[in-house]
Structure 1
Amino acid sequence: MDDIQIFHDSHNIQLRNPFGAVTIGTKVRIRIWTSKKCSVYINLINFYNNQVEVQMNEIGWNGYVNSWVYENEIDTSNCFGLIYYYFRVNYCGRNILYGNNIESLGGEGQTYFNDPKSYQITIYSNEKVPNWYKKGIIYQIFVDRFFNGNKEGKVLNPKKNTFIYGKWDDDPMYIKDEQGNIVRWDFYGGNLLGVKKKLKYIKSLGVSTIYLNPIFDSPSCHKYDTGDYEKIDPMFGDEEIFKELCSEAEDLGMRIILDGVFSHTGSDSKYFNKFGNYDSLGAYQSLESPYYRWYRFNDYPKLYEAWWGFSNMPNVDELNPSYLDYIIRNNNSIIEKWLKLGASGWRLDVADELPDEFIKILKKKLKEVKAEGVLIGEVWEDASNKYSYNRRREYLFGSELDSVTNYPLRQIILDLVRNYIGNRYFIKKYMSLKENYPKEYFYSTMNILGNHDTERVLTILNNNISLLKLAVVIQMTLPGVPLIYYGDEAGLTGGKDPYNRKAYPWGKENKDILNFYTKISNIRASEEALKSGEIKFLDFNNEVLGYERLIGNEKIVVVVNTMEKKENISLYDVNDGNTVIDLMSNDKRYEVKNSQIEIELKSHEYKILKIL
């Protein structure tokens, strides 16, 4: 008996149409090819893990693909979130299972004896993300480490029992006891006035959005242990300077996004008040506290649920009615107050630890207060199919987040430029995200190379500036919203926390890196094809990564040589009358001959070519 050949490719429009995520109500046509006539069934699994098997319709023999074709149409009108599918092929009494590839990356599948990997279809309601965010560039600021706007660097309202660095360029450190607990928090003295004074510098990088790490009252330098959501930390400033910052930023075409830490508070807060530093009656102090039911105590008061076991960050019950009212639902709630004072959105810390219901209520409130506001979630994996705390998450289906942190993209960019992976595997991983994410969200992801939770990108790349430039070129020319972590553009280095939170090196910037960032970020900010164009990958039969960004008649081609050796490539289908400009090399022009361009790429060289 001859073996039967089976083939399905979720990226091939003949076999799955339309490509990728679809809006609710879209009919998705699924086809599979087999080399022999047989019976084919498709198994469909919905968001709630209910499964049904349906026999596929035989379309007949297709001589062009030299296969029998079987088809099924999935009506998503009554579907929610995700549909998974795989196939069962019955040939001569033998059952063969066919599903996604072993890494579940979409595209070409494979046969299985049992437990096949399923393909994913994401189904969503089409909510629009504001263009000011989606088409922009983000600059992330860890406020204490950015700039002190006071005369002669005076530190504003230093806290009791803290450590102030003697020099702005000192390396950060933690002062801990024998158990590893931090006993004195460290500060450099950066503040909101300092951010305000550097707005023109930030704007010079092509930035349209400033994302501030937490700024509310807190004992720590990082502020992820909130003491009072209603108050700017006095070391950073006050409401008045915050309003001025938002207003002056908007005058320059930039918006401010705040970090919302709502899965836990600080133990040293007016809500918990473990150390009695606030005038309030805290949950730790009394069962009669208005905040008592916000927290989960195992043995009152000393044993309580804390974020990842850190006793200075007691977890809250986000769906407690009183907490919901305070943070979201009340008039002038925390969400509403800061939006009305000038913020244009929130980034949700540890979104995985916030219930979906909480995020939905917050999103609804945010849009009521500021229709053009945005909600971003910290998610470390593929956010379309994230599973956490024993449930599938609903981040990208339309009623929750506008954007998520794109850690998967960060990983494959850094792996590519270090030659841990090749360009074909990079494309395979990238296309998996493109397939799974609704297009509106795919073009809104927060595309990072580093932030306050990771090692500095230059340190990861062993201080290799050539590799840094390759990584940034890719980051700045792919769909999504590129993020610059303060100081990366100046050549800051540093390993894990606290070394990734050094002070910005004013006056000691690496000019080569800074000039490069300024040039490429402004190209990104000015080219519509890079902000919203379609992406099409090119195949050069070598390890050169290439892709086109296309919108209307505009085309930009990006080519990146990650190898140590020189590579030669040809670009085809270029009209002889076209002008080809190298945007990064002082508008160098290329000659088109016989509808193609010959390009030599030196080791670790890149080109961003605009075809006019």
Structure 2
Amino acid sequence: MFLQHLPLAPWAERTGAGLRLTLLSDTPDLDEVHARFLLDNEETWLPLARTADMGRFACFEATIPWCPTGPTTRYCFRVLRGGAPHWLAATGMQRRVPNEAHHFRIAREPLVPAWAQQQLIYQIFPDRFARGPDAPRERPPHAFGYDKAPVHALEWGAPLDVKPAWSAFYGGDLAGIGERLGHLQALGVTTVYLTPVFSSGSNHRYDTEDYDHVDAGLGGDAALVALSQQLHASGMRLVLDAVLNHTGANHPWFNRFAQHEQPGAWQSPDSRWHGWYARDAHGHPVYWKGHQSLPVLDYAHPEVLDAFIRGRHSVLRRWLQPPVSADGWRLDAVHMLGEGPGAGNNAAMLRAMREAVRDENPEAILVGEHFSEASSWLQGDQEDAAMNYWGFTLPLWQWLAGVDFGGRAAPIATADLAAWLGESRAVVPHEVALAQWNALDSHDTQRLFTVLGSDEAVHGVALALQFGYPGVPCIYYGDEVGLEGGNDPDNRRCVDWSGASWRGGILERVKQFAAWRRDRAELREGACITLAHGDDWIAFARVNATAVTLLVANRGDAAEVLVPIDALPFDIARWVSPSGHTWTSDGRAIRLTLSARDAAWLWSVAA
């Protein structure tokens, strides 16, 4: 017996009366069919009625009431046949009641701005992307981080062989980004995400010294206004990086190096900002992961809340307002933010952020940075999405490269990959899964192309999954041309705009995959079904109400694979392979020939 339900229309439809559910079964003679759902955290049961068949499937339907508390209504299905119960949850069929974390979940109203699921994100580390006509700008001779350090002005692309690396600048700026928008548009990029741009002493700018102004080395406030206007005029969007957990040690509020006129929290208990920073049991400042350049803020202080979240011109609100009118925020280390020296009352802080941002702009998004599982922040009342390290990037690395982000040996079997990805999708609402930022790497990791030994074939498999799997592809600048990079700071190299070092095959592959994703709605909005897997290959289907795309990814040697398609909710009369693969089908399965380190695409064609 087989059961199927997808958490999108027409199988799950929002109505005024509640959530209308359709369950499909290849077995019509079922003794009982029930939906189990939660109202105020208490289980409730409702029988489903048999309705008109849908192709080869028997259909059962019921409308369950919306849960009056919590952002989502959670549900699963139980059928009884021959005295044996069978359950269906977001993780698939089971013989026992599913863990409630794995129930389907849908909200009465959309949780995520619709545009957020349609994007192709491009992450830029501004100092290393491109120089504008006025760059490089002269900087002060010294910067302040862990300590006072000399500033190094380097030629574009020169080796980074100076210490400390954080005070080495190549002179990339915001005007340089504007001059290269044609490159991004040719890729199909629709949203630019900038790592921090506010005034700081370092090249990474996660040690903010002034949240009210853009770093002069990037061109200042006017440059961000100009870039935002240029992006919006081109139909693109802008997401900024919010560093709210900590400031830089040289921020006037902390003033560790006595560079500012008024005494800061470091210098005096009488400072007006003394209570703004978290302290340990001995009264000493707390630093982010022990880095003494990054003192942690204390959100138990009402003025901190006002400065960053609640105030009419708080940091979160101000940069969403004209003339910059940013379209959202990526929230740095936000899971660590809170009251006191730890993440106390963190969820309340995130809810306050969501409320403030939505009040300022109902279409603005909040994307959290989480290297570990982020599901508790992604239930519809806090973040819209996360940088999907846990649910995409890490399992992909372990499956293709056999290592984790720390370079430790961590190979996984394909069955474990399927289970990991399936559980990661199941624990968040479907519309949130569609908005997750799926990156191959970032400024905080080695570049995957380097980890893979510069193997373009295996990297091509990774790209196929990045563009074919649920979520929004997030390209780290230079990945599209095969930019290499080891651990920080080597992962932040300058782009070679001469093109001499570019990997043209990677560039064309990115453009092709981006075009397919743009043209196929199911790749942006569809549910995901894991159809089958072998030792070294895995097959997914992306499905909406009218179309299907199949993606079969192979990390191993050449193979002939058989992919059953019985789990698809409707029959497909005709398939084509845009990737040029040879295939045959008997209507119940597809037989494919895969080359070594290969990815095959097939999609349905309307009759």
Query: What's the TM-score bracket when you normalise by the shorter of the two chains?
Result: 0.7 to 0.9
SS in 2 for 1:167: coil
Partner of 1:209: 191
Measured against aligned partners, the alpha-carbon deviations of 1:246-298 in whole angstroms (never above 9, x if no partner) come to: 11111212111111111111111121111122344422233332222101345
User: Which letter does structure 2 place at the counterpart of 1:581?
Assistant: V
CA-CA distance at 1:417 after TM superposition? 2.9
Q: Structure 1: how far apart are the matches of 2:395 and 2:436?
A: 15
Q: Secondary structure at the match of 1:231?
A: strand
Cα gap change, 1:82 to 1:330, in 2 (>3 Å): closer
TM-superposed deviation, 1:479: 1.2
Q: Does 1:266 align with 2:248?
A: yes
**1:316 counterpart = 2:294:** no
- Supply the distance in 2 between the matched residues of 1:499 and 1:198 (Cα, whole angstroms): 22
Which of these residues, 298, 312, 318, is aligned with residue 337 of structure 1? 318
Name the residue aligned to 2:408: none
Aligned pairs for 1:380-391 within 5 A: 380-385=371-376
Check the 8 A contact 2:130/2:172 in 1, yes or no.
Answer: yes
Displacement of 1:443 after TM fit? Answer: 0.9
Alpha-carbon distance in 2 for matches of 1:442, 1:124: 12
Alignment of 1:552 with 2:545, yes or no, is: yes
Work out whether residues 454 and 500 of structure 1, in 8 Å CA contact, stay in contact via their aligned partners in 2.
yes
Counterpart for residue 155 of structure 2: 167
- Secondary structure (helix, strand or coil) at the match of 2:119 reads coil
CA displacement, residues 325-346 of structure 1 (integer Å, 9 cap, x when unaligned): 1112222221222111221101
Match of 2:429 among 414, 438, 443: 438
Over residues 535-560 of structure 1, what are the superposed CA-to-partner deviations in whole Å (9 max), with x where a residue is unaligned? 22223666432222222332222122
Pairing partner for 1:500 from 466, 481, 491: 491
CA distance, structure 2, for counterparts of residue 293 and residue 594 of structure 1: 68
Alpha-carbon distance in 1 for matches of 2:73, 2:522: 32
Alignment of 1:122-521 (within 5 A): 125=107, 126-151=109-134, 153-157=135-139, 159-160=141-142, 162-164=150-152, 166-173=154-161, 175-176=163-164, 185-298=167-280, 303-340=284-321, 341-354=324-337, 355-385=346-376, 395-408=377-390, 409-418=392-401, 420-507=411-498, 508-521=501-514
In 1, Cα distance between equivalents of 2:92 and 2:214? 46
Identify if the C-alpha distance between structure 1 residues 577 and 470 changes in structure 2 by more than 3 Å, giving closer, same or farther: closer
In 1, Cα distance between equivalents of 2:572 and 2:111: 38
- Report the counterpart of residue 65 of structure 1 in structure 2: none
Tell me if structure 1 keeps the 8 A contact 2:583–2:593: no
What SS is found at the alignment partner of 1:567? strand
Where does residue 59 of structure 2 map in the other structure? none
The worse-fitting range, judged by mean Cα deviation, of 500-509 and 596-605 is 596-605
Q: Give the alignment partner of residue 603 of structure 1, picking from 585, 588, 596.
A: 596
User: Which secondary structure does the structure 2 equivalent of 1:513 belong to?
Assistant: helix
Which is greater in Rg? 1
> Per the alignment, do residues 198 and 162 of structure 1 end up closer, same or farther by CA in structure 2, a change over 3 Å counting?
farther
- Distance of aligned partners of 1:280 and 1:582 in 2 relative to their CA distance in 1, 3 Å threshold: farther
Contact 1:171/1:499 (<8 A) preserved: no
Q: Distance in 1 between matches of 2:428 and 2:539?
A: 22
Deviation at 1:576, TM superposition (A): 12
**CA displacement, residues 306-358 of structure 1 (integer Å, 9 cap, x when unaligned):** 11111111111123111111112222221222111221101111121122222
In the alignment, what sits opposite 1:566? 559
Q: Relative to structure 1, is the Cα distance of residues 204 and 589 closer, same or farther in structure 2, using a 3 angstrom cutoff? A: farther
Aligned residue identity for 2:528: I
Of residues 193-202 and 126-135 in structure 1, the stretch that sits farther from structure 2 once superposed is: 126-135
Q: Is the 8 A contact 1:81 1:122 kept in 2?
A: no
1:199-223 Cα offsets, whole Å, 9 max, x none, are 1211211111111101111111111
> Is there any run of 5+ residues in structure 1 with no aligned partner, and where?
1-8, 30-41, 58-73, 86-98, 177-181, 386-394
C-alpha deviation, 1:407, in angstroms: 1.1
Q: 1:220 to 1:118 in 2, by over 3 A?
A: same
AA at the equivalent of 1:536: I
1:531 counterpart residue number: 524
Measure, in 1, the Cα distance between the counterparts of 2:553 and 2:294: 44
For 1:533 and 1:119, locate their aligned partners in 2 and report how far apart those are by CA, in whole Å: 21
Q: Does structure 2 retain, via aligned residues, the 8 Å contact 1:580–1:591?
A: no
Distance 1:225 1:46, change over 3 A: farther
Cα distance in 2, alignment partners of residues 55 and 511 from structure 1: 57
The one-letter code of the counterpart of 1:413 is L
Partners of 2:207 and 2:170 in 1: CA distance: 18
Q: Cα deviation per residue 1:153-212 (whole Å; 9 max; x = unaligned)?
A: 533545535443543223435625xxxxx7x71111111111111112112111111111
Residue by residue over 1:78-109, the C-alpha shift from the partner in whole angstroms, topping out at 9 and shown as x without a partner, is 66489999xxxxxxxxxxxxx99xxx988647
Equivalent-residue separation in structure 2 for 1:273 and 1:130 (angstroms): 39
Match of 1:581 in 2: 576
What TM-score does the superposition give when structure 2 sets the normalisation length? 0.77
2: CA distance, partners of 1:331 / 1:559: 50
Distance 1:434 1:246, change over 3 A: same
> 1:221, 1:200 → 2: CA distance?
25
Could you tell me which residue of structure 2 aligns to residue 3 of structure 1?
none
CA contact 1:262–1:318 (8 Å) conserved in 2: no
Give the whole-Å Cα distance in 1 for the aligned partners of 2:478 and 2:424. 29
AA aligned to 1:335 is L
Is 2:276–2:303's contact at 8 Å kept on the other side of the alignment?
Answer: yes
* Alpha-carbon distance in structure 2 between the residues aligned to 1:483 and 1:519: 15
Task: Report Cα offsets for 1:460-502 as digits up to 9, x if no partner.
Answer: 2121111110011011011111100001111112222111111
Mind listing any 5+ residue stretches in structure 2 that lack a counterpart?
A: 23-35, 47-63, 76-86, 143-148, 338-345, 403-410
Q: Structure 2 vs 1, CA of residues 122 and 571 (structure 1 numbering), >3 Å: closer, same or farther?
A: closer
- In 2, distance between residues paired with 1:191 and 1:123? 43
The letter of the residue matching 1:444 is A
Q: Once the 2 structures are TM-superposed, how far is the Cα of residue 457 of structure 1 from its aligned partner?
A: 0.8
1:147 Cα shift? 0.7
- Work out the CA distance in 1 between the residues paired with 2:156 and 2:562: 47
Query: CA-to-partner distance for each residue in 1:520-542, whole Å, 9 max, x for gaps?
Result: 12222232121112222223666
Return the alpha-carbon distance in structure 2 between the equivalents of residues 127 and 335 of structure 1.
22
Local SS of the residue matching 2:373: coil
| Displacement of 1:429 | 1.5
The offset of 1:384, in angstroms, is 2.0
**SS at 1:289 equivalent:** coil
Q: Corresponding residue for 1:35?
A: none
Residue 506 of structure 1, CA deviation: 1.8
Amino acid at match of 1:547: F
Query: Residue 209 of structure 1 contacts residue 254 of structure 1 at CA under 8 Å; is this kept in 2?
Result: yes
The 5 A counterparts of 1:66-105 are 77=67, 80=70
Alpha-carbon offset, residue 590 of structure 1: 7.0
- Read off the aligned partner of 2:269 and give its amino acid letter: L
Per-residue CA distance 1:385-411 (angstroms, 9 max, x = gap)? 4xxxxxxxxx22322111112112112
Number of residue pairs aligned between Structure 1 and Structure 2: 536
